[in-house]
């Protein structure tokens, strides 16, 4: 089972079709985006979200920004590519897949700028690159699922936080991919989904996605995670990531660190599922990862209802850092990174062909 989170419609000129995630679970609506400005808005307001999906969206956003420039010179197309990429880089500061995809698009445009290259040659190359990012993400999701499924036994119960399924990627997801593969292998799997305050990605998105797939899921508030672990109801924790530092520190949705601490206290394995594109080897550790702070209204006026006094001070970081020492293993497309530390992370990056 997968959901069509983002797809390209048509050839050139084409458009990006996204599932409008701010309306879930009450309404399933697809929205067509025809400009780089519309893609910027969709990423910024979380209509499309999840690190891998944001990377795909960014690539398609650049393509939207240049696809109408066929009458210009190749040099002008390169300049427009760089301008579109710089513009989209201002949407979300934490998810490294965004910047990875934008850098790939700009690098492709620069490679295409050869003697006698036409604007059409440039745009065709960018079209190929964007679709390549999409297809690579689909294949990587399946591979992460295969690797992670080896960690799931028949009858296991898994706790997950936020949404790292098909809604966050171009296919199976990251943290949910092993669950989908395990179920397809005939294993019985149950899931506890943290509500994930303040935007309720677990309640709105993960439960909806798993129910669509026919997988048994139980919704709990974030503060109940310790209780279900204490009761022995959780066999393992699977979460995604938005950025991973060279030493294995993991940045993910706010509340992930608390779950990791609880898992360590209760002897529950804590697994992070992420493609190699989510790693940022330029950062020594998690303290260097920029943490996005979002508007106070997400807490004080959640979904349009006031739940706090007007004027109250609010701290609303969208992500937190889980130290590598609390991570049992990181599940990637090149296999498990057990005992996450710099040497093991760098070895995985080399095996995956990442330059750093």
Residues carrying an active site annotation: 242
Measured at the alpha carbon of residue 33, what is the angle toward residues 319 and 177, in degrees to the nearest 5? 45
Please give the backbone phi and psi of residue 25, each rounded to the nearest 5 degrees, phi first: -95, 5
Q: Tokens 């959901």 belong to which residue?
A: 3
């Amino acid at each position: 089972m997968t959901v069509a989170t983002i797809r390209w419609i048509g050839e050139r000129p084409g458009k990006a079709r996204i599932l409008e995630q701010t309306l879930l679970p009450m309404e399933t609506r697809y929205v067509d985006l025809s400009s780089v400005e519309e893609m910027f808005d969709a990423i910024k307001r979380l209509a499309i979200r999840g690190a891998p999906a944001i990377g795909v969206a960014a690539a398609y956003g650049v393509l939207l920004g240049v696809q109408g420039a066929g009458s210009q010179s190749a040099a002008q197309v390169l300049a427009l590519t760089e301008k579109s990429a710089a513009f989209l880089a201002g949407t979300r500061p934490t998810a490294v897949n965004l910047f990875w995809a934008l850098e790939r698009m700009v690098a492709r445009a620069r490679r295409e700028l050869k003697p006698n290259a036409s604007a059409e040659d440039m745009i065709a190359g960018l079209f190929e690159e964007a679709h390549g990012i999409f297809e690579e993400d689909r294949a990587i999701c399946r591979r992460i699922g295969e690797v992670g499924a080896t960690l799931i036994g028949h009858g296991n119960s898994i706790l997950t936080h936020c949404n790292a399924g098909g809604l966050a990627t171009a296919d199976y997801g990251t943290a949910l991919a092993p669950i989908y593969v395990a179920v397809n292998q005939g294993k019985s799997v149950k899931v506890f989904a943290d509500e994930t305050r303040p935007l309720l990605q677990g309640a709105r998105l993960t439960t909806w996605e798993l129910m669509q797939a026919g997988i048994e899921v139980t919704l709990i508030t974030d503060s109940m995670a310790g209780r279900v672990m204490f009761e022995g109801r959780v066999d393992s924790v699977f979460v995604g990531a938005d950025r991973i530092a060279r030493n294995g520190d993991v940045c993910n949705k706010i509340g992930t660190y608390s779950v990791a601490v609880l898992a360590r206290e209760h002897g529950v394995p804590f697994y992070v599922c992420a493609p190699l594109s989510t790693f940022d080897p330029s950062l020594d550790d998690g303290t260097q990862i920029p943490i996005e702070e979002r508007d106070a209204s997400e807490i004080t006026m959640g979904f349009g209802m006031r739940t706090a006094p007007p004027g109250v001070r609010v701290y609303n970081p969208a992500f937190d850092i889980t130290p590598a020492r609390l991570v049992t293993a990181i599940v990637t497309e090149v296999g498990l990174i057990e005992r996450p530390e710099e040497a093991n992370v760098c070895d995985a990056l080399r095996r995956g062909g990442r330059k750093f």
